[in-house]
Copies of this chain bind each other. A is one copy, B any other.
Amino acid sequence: MKTSIKQNTTAPSEEKINTFSKANQHNDPKKEQYTQEEKTKQRLSKIKHKIAIISGKGGVGKSTVTANLAMAFATQGHKVGVLDADIHGPCIPKMLGLKGQTIQGNPTGEFTPVTGRLGIKVASMDFLLKNDETPVIWRGPLKMRLIQQFIADVAWGDLDYLFIDLPPGTGDEPLSVMQLIPDMDGVIIVTMPSEVSEAVVKKSVTFSKQIGIPIIGIIENFSGYVCPDCGKKVDIFQSGGGKRIAKDLSVSFLGSIPIDPKICLDSDSGVSFITQNPKIPSAKSFNEIVAKITLFLKQYGRVAN
């Protein structure tokens, strides 16, 4: 018998943490922690590549990039999962057309991820909230615990790629994910070209270097805008910042994605702009980025098993 874990997390409710099934409950917290760690290791051992998508600043299109990377690799026939580690503003379900779905659990304490188009498996806080208006008013320790549950208690099965969408900054969630997944292949850093963003993205690079996670490369999003009416290109948020930072900090530059209203429309509709609009410049850039990531993983990937 399946039990829904969709529940009321309206807060300020640090007590109202997810009541996962009784199979996970121990009276001894140390034993519980040990069990969770073992389960985390087991789950991760079946996932070949783990890639985190990070950014210093929010709103640079990190979730859009994550969702489209997942769809690009799934289109190639790979088994793909997405862990949405943005607890306060989970956007992945919407972008993969999975809004309103619920994660299902069974009495053995295992939860089935929501599966979308192309077989993409997804775990997200969004699947645990009763509606869009429900905020998750949680401090760090609860977020750490949920992220661990998203790895240890979700039946990911065998995957070729797990993409982890992290909230911006270098606080609790990125730290937790990096600690929980020590054999991460690497991080992809998404930025936009304004100078203000430039200042912030450098922090992401230093963060990754300091905690010893390989940097797959930097993607510059919102890179210039071509008026669909007259063809005039305008650098709304300036341009070239991503490439400059990559050079300055000796990090790979994966590519620029020009602004296109179709990307926003497709993201809002939960489809991939690279398959819906393959001829727009943004889709071409994105495919080149996918090729570069594949090359990186072939050369430097830390394949599990």
Residues of chain A touching chain B, judged by Cβ–Cβ distance below 8 Å, are 10-12, 56-60, 63, 87-89, 91, 94-95, 99, 132-141, 143, 167-172, 175, 192, 194-196, 198-200, 202-207, 210-211, 225, 227-230, 232, 234-238, 249, 259, 261, 264-265, 267-268
Q: Is the CB of B229 within 8 A of A232?
A: yes
Chain B residue numbers with a CB within 8 Å of A138 are 170-171
Contact B88–A202 (Cβ < 8 Å): no
Q: How many copies does the complex hold?
A: 2
Which residues of B are found within 8 Å of A170, using beta-carbon distances?
Answer: 11, 88, 135-138
Q: How far is the CA of A247 from the CA of B91 in the complex (A)?
A: 23
Q: Which chain B residues border A199 with CB–CB below 8 Å?
A: 91, 94, 99, 132
> Would you call A171 and B59 a contact (CB within 8 A)?
no
Given A89-B56, A199-B91, A267-B196, the answer on whether A139 and B140 have CB atoms closer than 8 Å is yes
State the CA gap A211–B198 with chains docked (Å): 34
15 A–B contacts, CB within 8 A, in A order:
A11-B210, A12-B175, A57-B89, A57-B91, A59-B60, A59-B168, A88-B203, A89-B169, A94-B196, A133-B202, A137-B170, A140-B171, A167-B169, A236-B261, A238-B268
